[in-house]
Amino acid sequence: MAAHNQTRATVLAQDLETAASLWSRFMGLMGRRSLPAGHGLWLTGTNGIHMFFMRFAIDAVFLGKPVVDGSRPVLSVHRAVRPWVGMVPLVRGAAGVLELPVGTIDASGTVPGDTVRLD
């Protein structure tokens, strides 16, 4: 799977894993040493993340529910969320979170209000 910012015509992740179960969402990226450029994790059906037991910082992009064309609105972005800092505040209306390498938000120009497509 991949994630594209349709508003900016940029790529957020070319190799996107999905975490759909309660356990896979809880585990997220814990236990990994890094997240390579171009990779990411899509946490479905959630409006918050934790950073406990993480070894590295991430960018987090919170997305809303899909609209008619399948794209999702960007509701909130969090740059360089540090490991071990606890939880990112819940984002009202979010229906999933993209966890991405640090710098992805700035490189893609992603801001709240953009639309993202997951393919």
pLDDT digits (tens, 9 = 90+) for 16-45: 999 988 888 878 888 788 999 999 999 999
Tokens at 41, concatenated: 């994790």
Domain ranges for the chain, please list them.
3-118
Q: Where do we find the tokens 């790529």?
A: 11
What dotted CATH number matches 3-118? 2.60.120.1140
Q: Rounded distance, CA 47 to CA 96, Å?
A: 6
For the chain, what is the radius of gyration of the CA atoms?
Answer: 13
The model's pTM: 0.94
What amino acid occupies position 25? R
Inform me whether the pLDDT recorded for 84 exceeds 80: yes
Contact indicator for 16, 39 with CB cutoff of 8 Å: yes
Give the per-residue pLDDT at 21.
86
What amino acid occupies position 46? T
Inform me whether the pLDDT recorded for 86 exceeds 80: no
